[in-house]
Amino acid sequence: MIMRGTRGKVSATIADVARRAGVGVGTVSRVLNDRPKVGAQTRARVLAAIEELKYVPSETARRLSLRRTQTIAVVSVHLVIPSVIERIHGIERSLTAAGLDMIIRNAETVERRDEVVREIARAGRVDGAIFISVAPQGEGQEEISASGLPVVLIDARRPGVPHIVCDDVEGGRIAGRHLLELGHTRIGFVGDPPSPRLGVRSSRTRLRGVTEALQECALRIDPSHIAEGEHSRLGGQQSARKILSGANPPTAIVAANDTLAFGVLQAARDLGLEVPGDLSVLGYDDIDAADLVQLTTIHQPLRESGTEAVRRLLAAIDGTGKGPLRTVLPVHLIVRGTTGPPRTSL
Amino acid sequence: MIMRGTRGKVSATIADVARRAGVGVGTVSRVLNDRPKVGAQTRARVLAAIEELKYVPSETARRLSLRRTQTIAVVSVHLVIPSVIERIHGIERSLTAAGLDMIIRNAETVERRDEVVREIARAGRVDGAIFISVAPQGEGQEEISASGLPVVLIDARRPGVPHIVCDDVEGGRIAGRHLLELGHTRIGFVGDPPSPRLGVRSSRTRLRGVTEALQECALRIDPSHIAEGEHSRLGGQQSARKILSGANPPTAIVAANDTLAFGVLQAARDLGLEVPGDLSVLGYDDIDAADLVQLTTIHQPLRESGTEAVRRLLAAIDGTGKGPLRTVLPVHLIVRGTTGPPRTSL
DNA sequence: CCAGATGGTGGAACCGGTTCCATCAATCTC
DNA sequence: GAGATTGATGGAACCGGTTCCACCATCTGG
């Protein structure tokens, strides 16, 4: 048994307004959309009728007629990752300002992602989509590009699709240089699981930056000082333990994100290592909790990445200029308490 | 210049399918909605036509026709509060499972809240709304209740509106008892700003629980050991500093949420107090970061509160039974490292 | 003074679904 | 075997906007 529109009073329609004002529906529509060619008195009469009837246009009818949903989809990995939340926050603000709705879908697994992508690709569900740290791939990508739906990626890259990224290589370099300047030479890296998962590789890119910084000093990372694991505190902890229990452990570890860095800190504690005395730890993202535990980290303009993505998406939807395929946002170092000179060099 | 539906190929409509299958639109609709009274062969033919045309029904047209938006609104305070995020996560899961869309609006200020409430109250925007730690008030409340829109509140109470809350009094009691059992007698409390702001009072309710626990032992809280400030780490820090700098400071502090508790920890560090030796700190929420800093806290079923809210809202939308006006979810204590016996009693 | 512009206006057609009603054949009932 | 019931089906009407076209006054220039 389905209940339909029975609740509340049925709101007035544009026809009611037209009748009340003694004009045609076309005229009311013109008034509503602030279009010219409406006499001053007529306009006043229509406005009065709208007021009296407490008329509010039906968004749904408008959408059907305009063939625009006024809604954009945000697809992200697990909704609890702090950096993702910050980005969504930026998106939300811009979208609201533009009078658009946002629906959120999360894609924790590859299967779920493909399902979500397919759903979105269906014509008419949304006017555009923003992907955060996920990118459509394979069949899903084909479907979505065939549908012509405007898409912008954040923290992900895919040939031919506009994307907003932070300068991950530079971030890695900055991290590496900071540790080098402190006197570290044995530097480790804890990252996300590698390749194919959800189509994002920022972890690897940051590693590349670190590597480059070391190369400038003719140093390199011992392969046994690199570990990759699940994007979680536990993952960071396990990776760090593996690295630190080796024969000649590093004196500093760069983590691909703050959550992993927290795990590294935990591992250090477990092993009785003092931070930063015995081990320096450097995170990435500068999420809220980083300040809490005094984590030195690379700050990314997370919220800005969201607003920028919206700007690009709206331009694509309106057909107003394409803009560059890639927008790179700057990052910078925030020194707190988890990095310092290595004990041996004191 | 407005671009209309010009991008991508125009997708097939139900009429195209009907023509292709050589049946009427009514029949196609019946097949689509899995309704009976369709012959087996006819159904097969229709399905074949759908397949051939890659037909996907227009959600917008469906909504207009059904007079249902298949969308619900989630209104929350600041989108960065971790407990809010967790709740939204629960909501998102349930809603997706039910095939509904969710739009998120945040209401950081009273003005913004009223604006959002008004927007939502407009008939036809959404089928229902969930408020998290905010509640419509005043004119907005009237408008929304006049519109007959189903609403469920989480972590907020308003007469006559169904709401999901955790047992804040009991949580406060549990917190109080835990500290009493450890031997504390001078217990302080750091909470959110008091009354009218956004219409939520859980901070005060938790305080009441603590007070009750103390009363069971014929103790009470020294009024100078209570402080209320902004819901942020800084707020907690300032409140704690005020309390701890008094003449006869407490040996333990209960915070109304984990974020405030982090501020309290910071204040303790600033003042050179050892935790839990000189000061025990007890949080509330059990957010992710609580584990990170080994904060003893009261665990609330945050995600579950979201799923429960959706369950209630869907029931209200379908008109299926009203259910109780108030649903209270249980809480429990998680002992970690920030609480211990007071030094004086050792 | 008249053809042609132009501002203002009404309303049909359309967007793409759902639903209800009329119709018709097949089966059931007594 | 006539009348009633039931299953299957087509299609018009409807949901509530937007847009385009036809039409009517005015106003303008020649």
As a whole number, the mean pLDDT across chain B is 88
Asked if A311 and A209 sit in the same domain, the reply is: no
Q: Which nucleotide is nearest to A29 (CA to C1')?
A: D18
* pLDDT value, residue A234: 92
Closest partner CB to A63 (pick from B60, B66, B88): B60
Query: Which residues of chain A have a CB within 8 Å of the CB of B105?
Result: 96
Contact check, Cβ <8 Å, A9/B262: no
Asked if A213 and A276 sit in the same domain, the reply is: yes
- Winning range, highest mean pLDDT, from A104-118, B99-113, B145-159, B265-279: B265-279
* CA of B186 vs chain A CAs: smallest distance (Å): 27
Higher pLDDT, B333 or A134: B333
Asked if A209 and A156 sit in the same domain, the reply is: no
Closest CA to A133 of A165, A161, A111, A160: A165
**Is B323 within a domain?**
no
Asked if A181 and A236 sit in the same domain, the reply is: yes
For β-strands B163-166 and B151-154, DSSP reports them as parallel
Q: Of B162, B192, B214, which closes a domain?
A: B162
CA distances from B59 to A13, A63, A120, B34, B67 (A): 21, 10, 11, 16, 12
Query: Which residues of chain B have a CB within 8 Å of the CB of A262?
Result: 292
Whether pLDDT at A10 is above 70: no
* pLDDT value, residue A1: 28
Whether pLDDT at B214 is above 80: yes
* pLDDT value, residue B197: 60
At A225, which CATH number? 3.40.50.2300
Q: In strand C, which positions have an atom below 7 A from any protein CB?
A: 7-21
Q: Are A212 and A176 contacting, i.e. CB atoms less than 8 angstroms apart?
A: yes
**Is B318 within a domain?**
no
Q: Give the chain A residue nearest B63 (alpha carbons).
A: A60
Q: Give the chain B residue nearest A104 (alpha carbons).
A: B102
Q: Are B230 and B255 contacting, i.e. CB atoms less than 8 angstroms apart?
A: no
* pLDDT value, residue B16: 92
* pLDDT value, residue A198: 64
* pLDDT value, residue B201: 78
What's the average model confidence in pLDDT over A179-184?
A: 96
Within 10 A of B268 (CB to CB), how many other CB atoms are there? 23
Segment among B49-53, B72-76, B95-99 with least mean pLDDT: B95-99
Q: Hey, what amino acid is at A182?
A: L
Contact check, Cβ <8 Å, B92/A79: yes
Tens digit of pLDDT for each residue in B228-275? 998 889 999 999 999 999 889 999 999 999 999 999 999 999 999 999
Whether pLDDT at B194 is above 80: no
Contact check, Cβ <8 Å, A102/B104: yes
Segment among A71-85, A167-181, A271-285 with least mean pLDDT: A71-85
Contact check, Cβ <8 Å, A148/B122: no
Contact check, Cβ <8 Å, A58/B124: yes
Q: CB contacts < 8 Å between A and B, how many?
A: 119
Asked if A150 and A33 sit in the same domain, the reply is: no
At A20, which CATH number? 1.10.260.40
List of long-range contacts for A38-46, beta carbons under 8 Å, 24+ apart: A45/A21, A46/A17, A46/A21
Asked if B25 and B156 sit in the same domain, the reply is: no
* pLDDT value, residue A258: 95
Q: Give the chain B residue nearest A69 (alpha carbons).
A: B60
**Is A8 within a domain?**
no
Q: Are A256 and A202 contacting, i.e. CB atoms less than 8 angstroms apart?
A: yes
* pLDDT value, residue A223: 94
Higher pLDDT, B277 or A198: B277
* pLDDT value, residue A296: 97
For β-strands A332-334 and A296-299, DSSP reports them as antiparallel
* pLDDT value, residue A286: 94
Asked if A193 and A130 sit in the same domain, the reply is: no
SS3 at position B285: strand
Q: Give the chain B residue nearest A147 (alpha carbons).
A: B8
Q: Are A239 and A226 contacting, i.e. CB atoms less than 8 angstroms apart?
A: no
What's the average model confidence in pLDDT over B200-211?
A: 90
Whether pLDDT at B108 is above 50: yes
Grade residue A99 by pLDDT with cuts at 50, 70 and 90: confident
Q: In strand D, which positions have an atom below 7 A from any protein CB?
A: 7-21
Asked if A27 and A82 sit in the same domain, the reply is: no
CA distances from A270 to A108, A267, B295 (A): 30, 5, 17
CA distance B226 to B210: 12
Whether pLDDT at B1 is above 80: no
**Is A9 within a domain?**
no
CA atom of A18 to C1′ atom of C4, Å: 32
What's the average model confidence in pLDDT over A111-125?
A: 78
CA distance B138 to B144: 10
* pLDDT value, residue A101: 85
Q: Which two structure tokens, joined as six digits, stand for B340?
A: 């211990």
Q: Which two structure tokens, joined as six digits, stand for A103?
A: 């629906």
* pLDDT value, residue B305: 96
Percentage of residues in chain B with pLDDT exceeding 90? 59
* pLDDT value, residue B167: 94
Whether pLDDT at B94 is above 70: yes
SS3 at position B34: coil
Contact check, Cβ <8 Å, B60/A124: yes
Whether pLDDT at A75 is above 80: yes
Residue A161 DSSP label: B
* CA of B25 vs chain A CAs: smallest distance (Å): 19
- Output the CA angle B301-B177-B244, nearest 5 degrees: 95
**Is A53 within a domain?**
yes
Say if residue B115 is exposed, middle or buried (CB neighbours under 10 Å; 0-12, 13-18, 19+). Answer: middle
Query: Which residues of chain A have a CB within 8 Å of the CB of B88?
Result: 79
Closest partner CB to B80 (pick from A4, A7, A89): A89
A26 CB inside 7 Å of strand D:
yes
Percentage of residues in chain A with pLDDT exceeding 90? 59
Closest CA to A305 of A333, A334, A326, A283: A326
Residue-range definition of the domain harbouring residue B101: 69-162
Contact check, Cβ <8 Å, B262/A64: no
Query: Which residues of chain A have a CB within 8 Å of the CB of B109?
Result: none
Whether pLDDT at B328 is above 80: yes
Q: How far is CA B270 from the centre of its chain?
A: 33
Asked if A241 and A313 sit in the same domain, the reply is: no
CA distance A298 to A128: 31
**Is B259 within a domain?**
yes
What's the average model confidence in pLDDT over A55-68?
A: 89
SS3 at position A231: coil
* pLDDT value, residue B267: 95
Whether pLDDT at B3 is above 90: no
Asked if B158 and B173 sit in the same domain, the reply is: no
Instruction: Cite the beta strand spans of chain B per DSSP E.
Output: 71-76, 101-106, 128-132, 151-154, 163-166, 187-191, 226-228, 252-255, 280-285, 296-299, 326-329, 332-334
* CA of A320 vs chain B CAs: smallest distance (Å): 10
Percentage of residues in chain A with pLDDT exceeding 70? 93
SS3 at position A1: coil
CA atom of B38 to C1′ atom of C27, Å: 17
* pLDDT value, residue B6: 36
Q: Which nucleotide is nearest to B62 (CA to C1')?
A: C17
* pLDDT value, residue A196: 53
* pLDDT value, residue B344: 63
* pLDDT value, residue B103: 87
Classify the phi-psi angles of A330: left when phi > 0, otherwise alpha if psi is within -120 to 50, otherwise beta: beta
Q: How far is CA B125 from the centre of its chain?
A: 21
Asked if A144 and A212 sit in the same domain, the reply is: no
Query: Which residues of chain B have a CB within 8 Å of the CB of A125?
Result: 59
User: Per CA to C1' distance, which residue is closest to C16?
Assistant: B61
**Is A64 within a domain?**
no
Q: Which nucleotide is nearest to A19 (CA to C1')?
A: C10
Asked if B241 and B214 sit in the same domain, the reply is: yes
Query: Which residues of chain A have a CB within 8 Å of the CB of B268?
Result: none
Q: Which nucleotide is nearest to A41 (CA to C1')?
A: C8
Higher pLDDT, B105 or B21: B21
SS3 at position A106: strand
Query: Which residues of chain A have a CB within 8 Å of the CB of B3?
Result: 318-319
Whether pLDDT at A323 is above 90: no
Whether pLDDT at B41 is above 50: yes
CA distance A228 to B279: 38
Grade residue A305 by pLDDT with cuts at 50, 70 and 90: very high
* pLDDT value, residue A181: 96
CA distance A162 to A326: 6
Q: Are A149 and B36 contacting, i.e. CB atoms less than 8 angstroms apart?
A: no
CA atom of A143 to C1′ atom of D13, Å: 36
Higher pLDDT, B146 or B279: B279
Mutate to test the interface with B, among A59, A100, A143 (most CBs of B within 10 A): A59
Contact check, Cβ <8 Å, A79/B66: no
* pLDDT value, residue A184: 96
What's the average model confidence in pLDDT over A67-95?
A: 87
Segment among B92-101, B202-211, B263-272 with least mean pLDDT: B92-101
Q: Are B285 and B83 contacting, i.e. CB atoms less than 8 angstroms apart?
A: yes
Burial B229-262 (b: 16+ CB within 10 A, else e): bebbbebbbbbbbbbbeeeebbbbbbbbbbbbbb
Q: Which two structure tokens, joined as six digits, stand for A79?
A: 């909704």
Q: Which nucleotide is nearest to B29 (CA to C1')?
A: C18
Q: Of B102, B132, B162, which closes a domain?
A: B162
**Is B7 within a domain?**
no
Whether pLDDT at A125 is above 80: no
CA atom of B49 to C1′ atom of C24, Å: 25
What's the average model confidence in pLDDT over A205-219?
A: 95
Q: Are B95 and B310 contacting, i.e. CB atoms less than 8 angstroms apart?
A: yes
Q: What is the dihedral of CA A328, A332, A338, A344, to 10 degrees?
A: 100
- Spell out residues with C-beta < 7 A from strand C: A 2, 4, 22-27, 30, 36-43, 61, 64-65, 67; B 10-11, 13-15, 25-26, 29-30, 32-33, 55, 57-58, 60-62, 64-66
* CA of B338 vs chain A CAs: smallest distance (Å): 15
CA atom of A40 to C1′ atom of C16, Å: 36
* CA of A217 vs chain B CAs: smallest distance (Å): 35
Whether pLDDT at A263 is above 90: yes
Residues in chain A: 346
Closest partner CB to A289 (pick from B64, B146, B292): B292
Segment among A286-295, B205-214, B261-270 with least mean pLDDT: A286-295
| Domain count across chain A | 3
